[in-house]
Chains A and B, each alone.
Chain A
């Protein structure tokens, strides 16, 4: 739980949150500019002030780009780049007003760092967010100690340090709290859902046991059994019966072979073909679909089901190839009149990445191609 981010536990939540990072970054830059203007009288080095604002902008851009669904997952390093740039901005701001900083209250450093940390909360573990807050506060505190000799307020340095760090502490506490709570909520639900799924599996087994009677094997079984019963009670075997026995034996072999060579993925394709009339093909010579973990299967199923929508695609092909330490799944679709939008595809790509599938997509007018790679542990 300490190692999980919302993006990993709830990939769609991570994608949904992407715009808030842009908003947060924009607000951070806005705050930096506004507060610099407010304390323009204290600025002794305009260059440092400009650098400070540029660093905030850089931190914001890094945060916004890193959180884009197409670049999922958001790695821990990205948080540290953002925080380092923001702390750099705070240092530059300190330099810009060094010796003339009468009020700490109008410094943007703490609030900008806090806002950026809060913005990326959906993409980081609560521990790393809290740690980022603590480390940033420590750096800020050193700056405050430096500035304390000439601020207007007549207060103990400790009090100044604490008050000055308040924005970072409060905002990173909010960030860590959010990350912790959303993971707890998600995992709690997943436990519940898994319990329900197990329950449902049991019911499904009973249901399927009955419905298998409708399947190919049952039809075959229903032919084989009376045939055998007939032979058993008959006096003689006719030539036709001998031929029929050979046929049935062949069919039985074929059915078993087909059953062994196909996987759940073939069944998915069959059901999509029947239900939606979309040509859906699976090419999986080694049965690699069975090697995928449950979550990976869900992600793949979601993507294929979404693509195999009559308005979206005319044809969907899935091909699986394995090599020594993993495999490659290529999903290609021929777009229909309402082709899959890149934005929507990115959502699935992000989901795939959240379940440790390397994912890339290429879309052209003629073809939408998504490539997933997985590694076998």
Chain B
């Protein structure tokens, strides 16, 4: 949305608006002429009123043409017609025994209309030229008309006042644009700049987030591994992601999704990553490498993080993620059942659930989700359900690490299973199951 009119358009726009205002006033005058004429013809029982109404109608038609097609020819034509009508109307009104002079309210009407003809071209000067012409013609017509029937001519005070108002408005308009506060305020420029800043910021953030998602875990792994031979799995993981990063223009990836709300989502979701250094980005990668390399379950997660003390509030990460993402979570079942799991497994499950909730907040288009927890058959099962937009898992791009790695890999690593049902338009249900015990 842009604010106001830019300086270069203000002149023409204001000019057109003022001309339109003039036309409205002119039509009001002509309408009153018609009304008065009809009243005089009917109530006053003077048939000449019909002639007056007809004359005013003709003039209104000519003016309508100018209002619609402001060309020089039509303007001149309207002036000629208007002058003729004014002469005839003056002859009608200035019957002997009527008004003392041509300076009266009735004869002011066609003359005011005539000076408000507007006309071709835009800008104050040309408008003043047309108005002056109309004013002069109106007075001349009154003079001529009254000379033909005999009576006293006097310039119309009302028409002069109307001409004065028009001059004041047009001159003011012309002068006030000189100082050009529009240029000075720079609103239009500011609007462009703001958009550009927002887009740029959005891109930077996306680029950073993508780099963060793709590279951070490898960097942490390298740092944690310290000096020594390069682990094959690390190598394979980097190779896989490097292909992803190098092979594409990661800055414009997902550009189509760039919206303000999306940015907000990113802000909140990534804040979760930050607040849980043990969470999504870091561990997700290791999870995947575990899958790629296979048989790595004995390997401990080398991310240096504050260990979650045993017996801490269960599903803390998940609830924090939901709160951060503004998601309402309804829970059925007791989160304490997670005590049957080892701390590492409980945490992996927690992180996976957190990622599920983040996905709901990001993609499902709803602001509530349901969490069902259960313990039975030697397994802990958590279902995350939403009635959001749903998706087709095959359509989720490979590089979207949320579902594939942050969720699936984490649970796989704990010998668990992830089952997912999603229907577009109906919602998504993810069931995470891990065996009791574990590290």
CB 8 Å contact bits of B151-162 with A (1 = contact, 0 = none): 000000110011
B residues 215-253 with Cβ under 8 Å of A? 215-216, 218-220, 222-223, 225-230, 234-235, 238-239, 241-242, 245-246, 249-252
Q: Are B222 and A245 in contact, CB atoms less than 8 angstroms apart?
A: yes
Cα–Cα, bound, A336→B240 (Å): 57
Q: Interface with A: B29-37, B53-61, B409-417, which one?
A: B29-37
10 contacts between A and B (CB under 8 A): A23-B172, A175-B21, A181-B21, A190-B2, A220-B211, A228-B219, A228-B242, A287-B267, A299-B187, A344-B184
Q: Is A145 interfacial (CB 8 A cutoff)?
A: no
Could you tell me the distance in whole angstroms from the C-beta of B362 to the nearest C-beta in chain A? 15
Q: Interface with A: B5-13, B132-140, B348-356, B431-439, which one?
A: B5-13
Q: Are A156 and B201 in contact, CB atoms less than 8 angstroms apart?
A: no
CB 8 Å contact bits of B178-203 with A (1 = contact, 0 = none): 00011011111111111111111101
Q: Interface with B: A56-64, A198-206, A323-331, A362-370, which one?
A: A198-206
A residues 130-161 with Cβ under 8 Å of B? 155-156, 158-159
Chain A residues with CB under 8 A of B255: 205, 209
Q: Is B208 interfacial (CB 8 A cutoff)?
A: yes
Listed in ascending order, the chain A residues whose CB lies under 8 Å from chain B are 9-13, 15-17, 19-20, 23-24, 27, 31, 104-105, 111, 115, 118, 121, 155-156, 158-159, 162-167, 169-171, 173-178, 180-182, 185-186, 189-190, 193-194, 197, 200-201, 204-206, 208-209, 211-213, 215-218, 220-221, 224-225, 228-229, 231-232, 234-239, 241-243, 245-246, 248-249, 252-253, 255-257, 259-260, 262-265, 267-268, 271, 287, 290, 293-295, 297-299, 301-302, 305-306, 344, 347-348, 351, 354-355
Cα–Cα, bound, A243→B189 (Å): 46
Q: Is B376 interfacial (CB 8 A cutoff)?
A: no
Cα–Cα, bound, A294→B197 (Å): 12
Q: Are A253 and B251 in contact, CB atoms less than 8 angstroms apart?
A: no
Q: A156-B39, A173-B25, A237-B230 are in contact. Are A13 and B10 (CB under 8 A)?
A: yes
Could you tell me the distance in whole angstroms from the C-beta of A295 to the nearest C-beta in chain B? 5
Q: Interface with A: B258-266, B310-318, B367-375, B379-387, which one?
A: B258-266
Beyond A10-B4, A178-B21, list 10 extra A-B contacts (CB 8 Å): A159-B36, A159-B44, A166-B28, A170-B26, A189-B2, A217-B204, A249-B223, A302-B187, A305-B186, A347-B185
Total A-B residue contacts, Cβ distance less than 8 Å: 344
Chain A residues with CB under 8 A of B215: 224-225, 228, 248, 252
Which B residue sits closest to A115, measured CB to CB?
A: B165
Q: Are B190 and A217 in contact, CB atoms less than 8 angstroms apart?
A: no
Cα–Cα, bound, A243→B220 (Å): 10
Could you tell me the distance in whole angstroms from the C-beta of A325 to the nearest C-beta in chain B? 17
Q: Quick one: which of B169, B241, B263 has the most chain A CB within 10 A?
A: B169
Chain B residues with CB under 8 A of A178: 17-18, 20-21, 24
Could you tell me the distance in whole angstroms from the C-beta of B267 to the nearest C-beta in chain A? 5
Could you tell me the distance in whole angstroms from the C-beta of A255 to the nearest C-beta in chain B? 5
Q: Are B205 and A259 in contact, CB atoms less than 8 angstroms apart?
A: yes
Chain A residues with CB under 8 A of B181: 12, 15-16, 347
Q: A242-B225, A348-B185 are in contact. Are A262 and B18 (CB under 8 A)?
A: no
Q: Are B105 and A229 in contact, CB atoms less than 8 angstroms apart?
A: no
Q: Are B105 and A104 in contact, CB atoms less than 8 angstroms apart?
A: yes
Q: Are B5 and A13 in contact, CB atoms less than 8 angstroms apart?
A: yes
Q: Are B230 and A231 in contact, CB atoms less than 8 angstroms apart?
A: yes
Cα–Cα, bound, A239→B215 (Å): 19
Q: Are A162 and B35 in contact, CB atoms less than 8 angstroms apart?
A: yes
Could you tell me the distance in whole angstroms from the C-beta of A291 to the nearest C-beta in chain B? 9
- A-B residue pairs, 8 tightest by C-beta: A177-B24, A178-B21, A302-B190, A245-B222, A181-B17, A174-B25, A181-B20, A249-B219
Q: A177-B25, A298-B187 are in contact. Are A13 and B14 (CB under 8 A)?
A: yes
Q: Are B223 and A234 in contact, CB atoms less than 8 angstroms apart?
A: no
Chain A residues with CB under 8 A of B264: 290
Cα–Cα, bound, A159→B35 (Å): 8
Cα–Cα, bound, A164→B105 (Å): 8
Q: Is B388 interfacial (CB 8 A cutoff)?
A: no
Q: Are A259 and B208 in contact, CB atoms less than 8 angstroms apart?
A: yes
- The contact of A242 among B198, B203, B226, by CB within 8 Å, is B226
Cα–Cα, bound, A355→B190 (Å): 14
Q: Are A235 and B172 in contact, CB atoms less than 8 angstroms apart?
A: no
Q: Is B22 interfacial (CB 8 A cutoff)?
A: yes
Cα–Cα, bound, A297→B36 (Å): 54
- The contact of B227 among A205, A238, A260, A351, by CB within 8 Å, is A238
Q: Is B271 interfacial (CB 8 A cutoff)?
A: yes
Which B residue sits closest to A304, measured CB to CB?
A: B190
Q: A162-B39, A173-B24, A212-B200 are in contact. Are A253 and B161 (CB under 8 A)?
A: no
Q: A156-B40, A347-B185, A351-B185 are in contact. Are A259 and B10 (CB under 8 A)?
A: no
Which B residue sits closest to A197, measured CB to CB?
A: B195
Chain A residues with CB under 8 A of B186: 302, 305-306
Q: Is B72 interfacial (CB 8 A cutoff)?
A: no
